[in-house]
Structure 1
Amino acid sequence: MELIISKKLSLDNHICYCFSNNNLSCIKEIKPQVECIVLYTFISLASVLTVFLNLLVIISISHFKQLHTPTNLLILSLAVADLLVGLIVIPLMGIRYIETCWYFGETFCSLFPFILYTLVSASLGNLVFISIDRYIAVKDPLQYSTRVTTNKAIFCIILNWLCSSIYSVIVLYDAIFSKENPNTCYGDCIVTVKFEYVLTDLIVSLVAPCSVIISLYGQIYCVAKYQARLINSVTNVSKSEKKAAKTLGIVIAVYLLCWIPYYIVSLFPGYDSNESAVMNIMCWIMYMNSCMNPLIYALFYQWFRTSAKHILSLKIFEPSSEYLSLFPEVNDK
């Protein structure tokens, strides 16, 4: 706390307020111009890249009839959540961190944490449903079309978003609807969450999803390995095992690397999410997972590469383009 106070007092020679025409305005921290340029460049690139990649996924699945499958609907829901993170969360959190002021009003200050928690929870829920879908497809491929249907996928998507919204309200209820306002000046936006809710969020948003995803993908790998051994060709066995191991490693590693650092730091008592540079870095690593998801879950698919080419070349505006075959070569699987 002493370091924070001395930093603000050092600006007495040239005090800058968040709102110059308001006597109750917070004092704005002045960052070096070079640092601001670098940060704004990073925030802009992160936001644009996240929105662009997820928008490609959304347009591809929505436009091409061949991609209207239960699995791709789950990927579409994931892309929507990640797109909103890039469109809303990353820009607003970036501006707040760089300017050290909240310029979006007190009402949106209370609403923004709800949006953030809902999007993050929905994104995690989508990952879990995708894992379950892929497990059923590998474990019982003959019954997959009857067990997993489009209507069931839509129901799971609605359930996921509904549960994410309810969960966000429960966790943030005291912080949002409490009469005690922790904001000491105009231009500040502080939302405090009780430590017991932080522990609950650790279980709900990290331990439980990680356990489910790791367990399912572990079983997927074992099943794929067993099925590959049934094939007499040694070459096919080797390729199948390597592909399964590589996909599993990428999914689990990126997921854990993006989420574990945030929760490790958040468990330390007395941390300040507004002043701690370490906490801000951990949050940004977590947000960037929304940019990585389309790369992991869509970019490795041949249909995504093909559909992206047609979208970027504007061929989707041609007549009957939605009926284009995105899997012309079976041997490329």
Structure 2
Amino acid sequence: MEISYTQNFTVQYCFPGNNASCRKQVRSDPAYIFLFIFLSCISVCTVILNLLVIISISHFKQLHTPTNLLILSLAAADLLVGMFVMPVKITQLRDSCWYFGDLACCFSEIINGCLTAASLCNLVLIAVDRYIAVSDPLHYNTKITVCKTSLFIVLAWSISVMYITIFYYFNDHLLQSQVITSCYGECVVIVKDFWVITDVVVCFVAPCSVILILYSIIFNAARQQAKAVRAIRLALKIHSSSHSSEIKAAKTLGLVISVYLTFWITFYVCSLTTSSIAWTVFGWLLYLNSSLNPLLYAIFYPWFRTSVNFIVCCRIFESSSSTFNLLPDHF
């Protein structure tokens, strides 16, 4: 059963034997093929980059610090996005059909929401961790320990699961019997207006405000510390590179904030519209954040480049590899 639509675009049925089946749009245009290949590469890169972060922090004992534990949790969420969420979305984008049933549709959306929420919670925890490290460096080691950080990570994931479960339950998408579709082979989430506003406040306005405020304080504290160090070294007639360090800190924080705002603002602005194309485009921008997180929070760290070198060279299989000193002069 096939209807000719254009030269490179045909419309079929997701389930030809079912009269209530949705129509399947087979996108065979070269531009779509390139898009699918590109998104598939993004998915693979997301998995590889975050897997390298997870292996590095898990294997090398020198990296078992509270901050790196937060990066590990963030990488785990982003890894699952690249491993499960992106491939499913690519399949839907390819022919617009959902082949796995209503129950799988519910669980797919819940997993998607939990992972993005957990990723966002980890970004907030990283901001809090860096704020305490800069504002109270003398007591940081006593205030922030690996045990406390682990508890906060478990709490963050638990809150994410709880919130997403409540979110989909009150939008009638938690149970298979509650799913309402216009045709068979469709997986659509319809969110009530009240929960759209609630989600914008809980998952965007609040965490965005916290991150912006904390990073602003971090930047100001770093700038003041750089000025103090520069004054001391000038008084002692010691040449200093604190000015370049200050600029580098400003650029790093600016990059973190810019990427965060770019992906999350566009997504939540899109949530106020009803355009399916806009949802698809901005939804993928949100998923791309999982690809950039390891770049922003790990690759810029020198220890990551060293650990990746050990992993690629298979030196992690040596008996004493877990005790390697990744940064003997700086760590």
TM-score by length of 1: 0.91
Q: Deviations over 1:90-120 (max 9, x none)?
A: 1101110111101222211011111111101
Letter in 2 for 1:308: V
Partner of 2:189: 191
Using a 3 Å threshold, how does the CA distance of structure 1 residues 177 and 75 change in structure 2: closer, same or farther? closer
SS at match of 2:25: coil
Distance 1:74 1:93, change over 3 A: same
2:237 aligned partner: none
Written as runs of structure 1 = structure 2, the 5 A alignment for 1:217-296 is 217-231=215-229, 232-233=232-233, 235-268=240-273, 271-272=274-275, 276-296=276-296
- Residue 304 of structure 1: CA displacement? 0.3
Between 197-206 and 228-237, report the one with greater CA deviation: 228-237
Partner of 2:61 in structure 1? 65
SS in 2 for 1:233: helix
Contact 2:24 2:95 in 1 (8 A): yes
The C-alpha deviation readout for 1:107-137, integer Å capped at 9, x for no partner, is 1101111111110110000000011111111
Q: Retained in 2: the 8 A contact 1:39–1:98?
A: no
Residue number in structure 2 paired with 1:175 = 172
Please give the residue correspondences for 1:1-333 in structure 2 after superposition, counting only pairs within 5 Å: 15-173=11-169, 174-177=171-174, 179-231=177-229, 232-233=232-233, 235-268=240-273, 271-272=274-275, 276-330=276-330
Cα deviation 1:198-239 (Å, max 9, x = unaligned)? 111111111111111111111111111111122133633302
CA contact (8 A) 1:224 1:240 kept: no
Stretches of structure 1 lacking an aligned partner (at least 5 in a row): 1-7
Q: Is the 2:12–2:25 contact (alpha carbons within 8 Å) kept by the matching residues of 1?
A: yes
Deviation at 1:308, TM superposition (A): 0.6
Q: Secondary structure at the match of 1:142?
A: helix
Q: CA deviation at 1:183?
A: 1.0
Deviation at residue 9 of structure 1 after TM alignment = 10
1:143 alignment partner AA: H
Calculate the aligned-residue CA RMSD, in Å. Answer: 1.9
1:180 Cα shift? 4.7
Distance 1:97 1:317 in 2: 40
Q: What is the DSSP-based 3-state SS (H/G/I as helix, E as strand, rest coil) of the residue aligned with 2:224?
A: helix
Q: Quick one: distance in 2 between partners of 1:310 and 1:42?
A: 29
Instruction: Write the letter of the residue equivalent to 1:257.
Output: T
Aligned residues: 318
Gaps of 5+ in 2: 235-239
- Confirm or deny: 8 A CA contact 2:15 2:185 kept in the other structure: yes
Q: 8 Å contact 2:86–2:287 — kept in the other structure?
A: yes
Separation in structure 1 between the aligned mates of residue 178 and residue 321 of structure 2, nearest angstrom = 56
State the Cα deviation string for residues 4-49 of structure 1 (Å, max 9, x = none): xxxx9958x9751112233332111132342342122012101101
Percent identity reads 48
Distance 2:191 2:208 in 1: 23
